[in-house]
Amino acid sequence: MKHLHTATLRQAIPTLRAGERILLSGTVYTARDAAHKRLMALLDNGEPLPFPLTDGIIYYCGSTPAPEGLPIGACGPTTSSRMDPYTPRLYDLGLCATIGKGERDTATREAIVRNGGVYLCAIGGAGALIARHVRKAEVIAFEDLGCEAIKQLEIEDLPLFVAEDCHGDSIFVKP
């Protein structure tokens, strides 16, 4: 199993293969459906995004409130295909990776390959366990969206597996 950091994930992507397990540490940004709609509106209006897309990583999750003494509540992955209408554009603008659960559509898979990106999956139903890997969580945009607000997370050794690699291989699509 590879230990990878978000700051150097872009350089490691060519070595990753669909089905491979990794442990990821560093900075990721949460965003779900409502946040993606607002990100698209910002892009359409030429306004800056609340986080850098270049080599950025979006985790599709909406966390529960943080229990006392912890940075975040349960933060399991949500179904990635709901973000597929927005995702190719984000990869084309420099996004490095997305994290979620479930398969992606053809346009998203093509954008991952075209941009040398990767799609990583977390285990659905394991939100409380995933929260143990979050060291810091801060709302950085769209606070009015509640659990769907964009958060910056600092993660440590988050267990993931490569679902779609930059070579076009997928755990969901048979060759």
Provide the whole-model pTM: 0.96
Q: What is the CATH number of domain 2-164?
A: 3.20.130.10
Q: What is the CA radius of gyration of the chain?
A: 15
pLDDT in tens, 111-146: 999 999 999 999 888 899 999 999 999 999 999 999
Residue 85 confidence (pLDDT): 98
Residues 137, 153: Cα–Cα separation, whole Å: 5
Residue 124 confidence (pLDDT): 85
Question: What share of the chain has pLDDT > 90, as a percent?
Answer: 93
Report the pLDDT averaged over residues 53-57: 97
pLDDT in tens, 58-99: 999 989 999 999 999 999 999 999 999 999 999 999 999 999
pLDDT in tens, 92-117: 999 999 999 999 999 999 999 999 99
Residue 175 confidence (pLDDT): 66
Residue 173 confidence (pLDDT): 86
- 45 pLDDT higher than 80: yes
Q: How confident is the model at residue 46 (pLDDT cuts 50, 70, 90)?
A: very high
